Amino acid sequence: MACNCRDEVTESLLSAWKLKTPFASGHLITLDGYIPLGKNPKLSTLEKAQMMIYKYCVFSDKSGNIISRHKKNHLIFTYCPFCGVKYDPDESK
């Protein structure tokens, strides 16, 4: 990871939430929207911010049957959405 924005933003949100709810305990914040990358994502330390894309359409097949199609994809960010630093400067496209 080129920056620590995920950890810093998570900690900032956690601190703010604790201040708003001082009567509570066990505060936890999870910043979703990141995806591990690499050949083995479970072992990857490289994460990039991502946004889910939900696709839907309806069409007719040759017999006139109406078919609906759902698809999900990830829109993976090249730059950190918080600080604008490129995740992998060596990455060439």
Report phi then psi at 24, rounded to 5: -105, 170
Nearer residue to Zn ion within complex by CB, 52 or 85: 85
Nearer residue to Zn ion within complex by CB, 17 or 82: 82
Instruction: Supply the minimum distance, in Å, between the C-beta of residue 26 and Zn ion.
Output: 28
Length, in residues, of the chain: 93
In the chain, what is the straight-line distance between the N-terminal and C-terminal CA atoms, in Å? 18
Instruction: Supply the minimum distance, in Å, between the C-beta of residue 75 and Zn ion.
Output: 17
Instruction: Supply the minimum distance, in Å, between the C-beta of residue 31 and Zn ion.
Output: 12
Q: Which residues bind Zn ion (CB under 5 A)?
A: 3, 5, 80, 82-83
Q: How far apart are CA 54 and CA 71, in angstroms?
A: 6
